[in-house]
Amino acid sequence: MSSGNDRQAQTFTKPALSEKEATELVDRVFGLKVSWIRLLPSYDDQNFHVRVSRSKGAAEGADEYVLKITNSEDSQEPDLIEAQTQAMMFLSAEGFPSATPHLTKDGNIMSLESGDTGPGNKKYMVRLLTYLPGTPVAKIATNTQIFYEIGKLAASLDKALSEKFHHPSVKSLHRGQFIWNLANVPLLDQYIYALGQNKYREVVEQVIEQFKGKVIPKLSSFRACINHGDLNDHNILVDSTSASGNPQYRVSGILDFSDMSYGYYVFEVAIAIMYMMIESPDPLSAGGHVLAGFESVLPLTEEERGALFLLVSGRFSQSLVIAAHTALLYPENEEYLMITAKTGWKHLMTMFEVGQEAVEKTWFETAEAY
């Protein structure tokens, strides 16, 4: 959902290609003819859904892709983009529903392209990724079964990456000051001004202080891993296997690996819990179902469980503060940036009103019931 450590510098860097330019790009770089194209919403990159027409006798391949044009800041970190793309290829080979790149005419997974002929001609990293079918979790009526599946996915994904993904580019995932890494909740101090003075700001300040005192000293006792880092309700696609009143969902796609970094297993479950709370009619209990799925693969330690409340609160704070800060920079993008904020504040306030002990009791008892 985010990119570099400092958004101030990012004012004019979101790519803005026209459909015609994107069509020409696909032909020139990948050697494919576009028959249909549509712009997709995005936080700070530019994405197009494209269909290609294949000539008779052409090599086999997919017909639908996402053309992903990375913002000019992140395009200056090719090792990081390579690590993300290699991770997607690895996961696909391991049986996870992740996209894979269509190679360029030169046989590469990505290409650095000039975006425009204007002043300070920006360069953007371009990839063509297979299009994944399915509906974002944000658009379905969720149930406890899908929360359990998402928890299970979060654990399986991090476990596979951490135990078996050994591409040389992996070292670029040590992203010390990356603002979306959950260890960096204390860095929100520098963006909190964007909230103005109100009761919300007071809660976030409380989260940051408690996080510094209770989570940061414990990090070394958590089990380290590679995190996807953004398993949110827009980055997980599902399809349903039964049309009756109670559909059974399965995950059909995992999107957006741009927040990948080294972190801890407990970070991934906290992030998933936070975003599933937003999609649940019963937000406080949703966490227990996500946790149950996660622990079916990877049971948490006592220290990790003890930090869960503040980690979930920390992720709410990251999402809300960074969205408010970014909306000041890009007022025209405010509606998309504030998607999470609409219900996010309500849930964070509720967690603090109900209190850590009661929230944990709900989560842990729900998870034990499995």
Q: Which residues are catalytic?
A: 230
Residues facing residue 233 across a β-bridge: none
Chain centroid to CA 156: 16
Chain centroid to CA 198: 28
- Residue 363: exposure state from Cβ atoms within 10 A (0-12, 13-18, ≥19): buried
148: Cβ contacts below 8 Å, ≥ 6 apart: 289, 290, 292, 293, 296, 370
Chain centroid to CA 112: 23
For residue 44, the SS3 value is: coil
* Residue 240 and residue 247 in contact, taking contact as beta carbons nearer than 8 Å: yes
Residues facing residue 262 across a β-bridge: 226
Q: Which of 128, 198, 230, 149 is nearest to 348 (CA)?
A: 198
246: Cβ contacts below 8 Å, ≥ 6 apart: 143
